[in-house]
Structure 1
């Protein structure tokens, strides 16, 4: 009976998964595309500036220098002449000149009043129109114009190319359109090529593939990128290879286009005549400013022998598309990247056999894992499942990076994880038996909640714990007793909550573990239960943040007190830090366990916090914390003599964070502080008093009280050396 339920549990999800993979619904395609986008973002094609492709960009600088868009056709003509003169192999315009130039002088004259129109027309008599001037420039250069295919009627344009094919008729496989927004006939006749600018994004509007060929009114037409490649090579004819061509093993199946030959270049495509582009990150070296070209500031080597695409990256012109690498890429850059992809011989292929292979692999892995799970323990099954999933991911990544193949490990991986999840149910009886044993053995010694946690995680069955180095923080309010005497119970409760809540947030934000609240005091520690290599530094930064947060709270409380017409005295706290090995774990009694810590350094941190009041500072740290915390602004403070210890502990005050420690102000403070400590240690109390008084007058308020203490020691104590070591 159990075996039948097991096979139902693992076989049902596996069968459902195989059916979904076979149907390949749109959401599954979206997931797959997202995964393939991650591949490209993780390992984009590196940009090669030596590839003979550049974009002449009508950028914001060009618009500012030349004028707003659209520019007069005479300016476009001048740009074309400049590029042709510099030796461009092809000049392709990622734009459509479908209407006469509205800035042509003859068109502007027609807008004049009747009495002024005749003289202006006479003055313009015999002058070529700006469109005619552009046509002349196009005719004298290797130019390619853009057109946009539509589903309307009309707009067919002259074919500048020949089209040959082998195998099945390729017109049946390409995206088909019935109309076009084409260049002006005069311009179309002058250009050497005309290419379609259409994009065919996926459902999520991301451009992953760019068409080489499209269908217009029953004919094949090339894209702008294809025409730029053809014109640059001086080729005349495209050769399209489709299924069932000579040497193609399609076995009579009309599977689509396989390649397009453009001059000397064989371009592998998908069945619809599209190329999946291996994108690069946007690189400024790909772009030349149109204004610089017009002004003659572009080095000839940047243009000579290269395919030049003219377009715009200006945000205001809104010619952007999403790609796997970026949410907003200029359309002209996508055209340029396709040409680079083709010339560089790059490829990115989703093989025809990929989906079938993924379905078969999913079935095989699911079956093998289903057979193995009942024979191994749960940990081994988990390791096995994760290893298989990792191998699938690594194999797909290797196929992408080494062989330019797009394989989807999600289906087989999901099957492995699903079978593992169902298979774990086969171990349910053993798990329940183990939980029953835990409850029977430990139910009399620990609380029910802890019993349940132990039952879920038996590896926690250690009452003691582990010894590890941690940093402990104690934070205590100053003069809390006198403060509490001014409040009733409800007001005191509200105040403590308003204080402890933000302070706790600061501790948690810095990766600390709250151990306990002791009245108005907070105890926390770092590096347990989660490892924290920088635990001393993080604890010190937390202490600084707590001090800053208390300043902000004081300001809030002061404003509230003023609004209510009652007095307010600022609240201060002292923070002590110590670092060292402690016992950490679930500590307590048979009735109650708490995750806590024990050790000498816990006691040291508490005593250091107590010393902050007598030393008139906010934050003191132990020598071990000072050594481990690194690049913070520490200053030598005093010695702390602990009860039961034969040697005093050196204390340091924390003056600021890493930015302050690197500042000139701290360098000066540190130098003067060192002089004070040296004079004090040498018994030069008069000199030390003068230095301390000067520092008390110039140091920040949080340090002035400390230096005032040293001045008092030197001036007022009969024998200052007797008070050098603070007692705790």
Structure 2
């Protein structure tokens, strides 16, 4: 498959995964945002709303009074707050039974007008009553209280205190208007009703202006812009407003111009909820009254958690996914995984910084886009590496060892196949007196002998990183330093030549054992080495090409291997090769005139490599 087609398919896969992540996994971002809330702590002050709490200290001052009989105390505290300048009070206690009626039924002399003070506040629209849906039934205060509502308009004087949680049990949103109730039933949330009454707006209007924002009756549940963890909203205990000199209390006087939520905060109360600031047992829960207070403050201050449009999110994901895919493709495979992991953390930091500015930015879908791009890039690179491995194996598998092919495949560059000029060392090796030897053996025995020798010789050439260019009759041509570049190519060639000399001695014993009926002289070879520039590449015609080397260096090396008889050695090397190898042990030298070459070639007999050179060779072989 063409490379561009593979990239297009990978791009489509990454885009598809990113869009699916945005569509199906956006809810997972709530987990990140919960953590952001806890990291950020308190976000904004409550400048409009105060909590008026029935706490343990308040209950302790009235130990013999059940909460069901607290309506006169609620009325006194609320009246004190109004006298101090509070604008409106929302009651978050469900007065399901009338203490006055209960006393009358029991013929108590205290019945009288027991609930009259609280009814007066309700009639003055200073006290908002709660409504709550439980078990599919809308629960309202007792009739003794609702009859005090002006014009009996429950829909606009009772606020819903329902706090529906998300699927994981955490309260993150609050409905402002309920749409599933019968006409005339309370449908406005208590925070909205409290904010409207505070800002002197009619609850019957079609839409409202609060904190610079427009809210209409069709509004969907509002994500709560939390002020901070539990305890962020200022609180004042109800017993302070019940004190004799309450209007001289600075905290009471500070209620001027405020909206109050009167609710519980005592031990054993059931109205506690999980919010982004609490994650279960042992963590801070938030009281229902404070959730209502924080929601009302959000409406009055105009602070909102903003979300970018879904189209902008899709476009951003598209750009992010494609940019990362092409970036990962260009990145070196060694850095792909660690870079991808670091980039996976980046959306969290970006989203947190955006969160501090009240902007909600998706994290998990972006991470899916990053992971998809990384996976696609890895698969493309693996596919490309596999194709490169096959290509190089097909091209060089018969020239070099599998280890060299692997190194070439792992290299960032491909060999130039049209003909490349390099400096390398060429080794020529042939079998001495091979013509006489072949005359004594049958043709099939000659083939067996050549195969046995070349099996050993090629293995040695590969061991030292050589490229077996060709086998011509009994001769072998090997290049060192190409196609895989080795700076020590001359050293490798000399070491390989000496190893071939040792292998020839072992081969001599094999020949004597294999062909005992014939009396041969020792199996002997000649090796010639020369270092210099040459051209390497695919050379031939449109019908037949071969990967080979040509040039003066090849010609000289071919001539040198026959000089071993003259110098009384097996391995001979040119002056250029000898100078490139540290620690080489040489013997006699001679000068050779090569046909077509103006300058003579100085040639040395090679007898070995020094100790330092051997250590370098071992180190080099280990590193390979």
Query: What is the TM-score normalised by the length of structure 2?
Result: 0.53
In the other structure, the counterpart of 2:238 is 290
2:38 to 36, 41, 45: 41
Where in structure 2 are the equivalents of 1:107-506 lying within 5 Å? 107-109=105-107, 123=109, 128-140=112-124, 142-149=126-133, 152=136, 180-191=138-149, 193-215=157-179, 216-218=181-183, 221-241=187-207, 260-261=208-209, 266-267=213-214, 272-279=219-226, 280-283=228-231, 286-296=234-244, 297=246, 298-299=249-250, 300-327=252-279, 328-351=285-308, 353=309, 355-379=310-334, 381=336, 385=340, 389=344, 392-402=347-357, 404-428=358-382, 429=385
Q: Bigger CA drift: 329-338 or 297-306?
A: 297-306
SS for the counterpart of 2:68 is coil
* Bigger radius of gyration among the two: 2
In 2, the alpha carbon distance for the partners of 1:270 and 1:31 equals 29
Deviations 1:350-393 (A, max 9, x none): 24x1x333233333333333334443312454576467545544
How far the C-alpha of 1:104 sits from its partner, in A, is 4.7
How far the C-alpha of 1:45 sits from its partner, in A, is 4.7
SS for the counterpart of 2:128 is strand
In the other structure, the counterpart of 1:163 is none
Q: Is the 8 A contact 1:96 1:182 kept in 2?
A: yes
In 2, the alpha carbon distance for the partners of 1:4 and 1:305 equals 68
How far the C-alpha of 1:92 sits from its partner, in A, is 0.7
SS for the counterpart of 1:317 is coil
In 1, the alpha carbon distance for the partners of 2:196 and 2:334 equals 61
Deviations 1:18-75 (A, max 9, x none): 45236x34xx2431221222232222453425x1311111112222222353343222
Q: Is the 8 A contact 2:17 2:372 kept in 1?
A: no
Q: Is the 8 A contact 2:56 2:266 kept in 1?
A: yes
How far the C-alpha of 1:437 sits from its partner, in A, is 5.9
Task: Indicate the structure whose relative CO is greater, using CA pairs within 8 Å and at least 6 residues apart.
Answer: 2
In the other structure, the counterpart of 1:76 is 74
Where in structure 2 are the equivalents of 1:583-662 lying within 5 Å? none
In 2, the alpha carbon distance for the partners of 1:286 and 1:411 equals 38
1:31 to 28, 38, 59: 28
Q: Is the 8 A contact 2:58 2:238 kept in 1?
A: yes
In 2, the alpha carbon distance for the partners of 1:128 and 1:309 equals 28
SS for the counterpart of 2:67 is coil
In 2, the alpha carbon distance for the partners of 1:96 and 1:340 equals 22
In 2, the alpha carbon distance for the partners of 1:88 and 1:132 equals 21
How far the C-alpha of 1:329 sits from its partner, in A, is 0.6
CA separation of 1:370/1:235 partners in 2, compared to 1, >3 Å: closer, same or farther? closer
SS for the counterpart of 1:55 is strand
How far the C-alpha of 1:312 sits from its partner, in A, is 0.9
Deviations 1:171-193 (A, max 9, x none): xxxxxxxx521123342243563
In 1, the alpha carbon distance for the partners of 2:168 and 2:235 equals 28
SS for the counterpart of 1:309 is strand
SS for the counterpart of 1:222 is coil
How far the C-alpha of 1:348 sits from its partner, in A, is 0.7
> What is the count of residue pairs matched by the alignment?
379
How far the C-alpha of 1:105 sits from its partner, in A, is 3.2
Q: Is the 8 A contact 2:18 2:321 kept in 1?
A: no
In the other structure, the counterpart of 2:449 is none
Segments of 5+ residues of structure 2 without an aligned counterpart are: 151-156, 280-284, 390-402, 411-458, 464-618, 620-624
Deviations 1:155-186 (A, max 9, x none): xxxxxxxxxxxxxxxxxxxxxxxx52112334
How far the C-alpha of 1:2 sits from its partner, in A, is 7.6
How far the C-alpha of 1:146 sits from its partner, in A, is 0.6
In the other structure, the counterpart of 1:553 is none
In the other structure, the counterpart of 2:515 is none
In the other structure, the counterpart of 2:94 is 96
Q: Is the 8 A contact 1:374 1:423 kept in 2?
A: yes
In the other structure, the counterpart of 1:58 is 54
Q: Is the 8 A contact 2:97 2:142 kept in 1?
A: yes
Segments of 5+ residues of structure 1 without an aligned counterpart are: 110-119, 153-178, 242-259, 445-589, 591-728
SS for the counterpart of 1:304 is coil
In 2, the alpha carbon distance for the partners of 1:198 and 1:3 equals 59
In 2, the alpha carbon distance for the partners of 1:435 and 1:142 equals 88
In 2, the alpha carbon distance for the partners of 1:186 and 1:230 equals 25
How far the C-alpha of 1:271 sits from its partner, in A, is 6.4
CA RMSD of aligned residues (A): 3.9
CA separation of 1:128/1:40 partners in 2, compared to 1, >3 Å: closer, same or farther? same
In 1, the alpha carbon distance for the partners of 2:298 and 2:273 equals 18
Q: Is the 8 A contact 1:195 1:221 kept in 2?
A: yes
CA separation of 1:240/1:348 partners in 2, compared to 1, >3 Å: closer, same or farther? farther
How far the C-alpha of 1:270 sits from its partner, in A, is 11
CA separation of 1:315/1:5 partners in 2, compared to 1, >3 Å: closer, same or farther? farther
SS for the counterpart of 1:130 is coil
CA separation of 1:93/1:434 partners in 2, compared to 1, >3 Å: closer, same or farther? farther
Q: Is the 8 A contact 1:84 1:141 kept in 2?
A: no
How far the C-alpha of 1:337 sits from its partner, in A, is 0.6
Deviations 1:547-598 (A, max 9, x none): xxxxxxxxxxxxxxxxxxxxxxxxxxxxxxxxxxxxxxxxxxx9xxxxxxxx
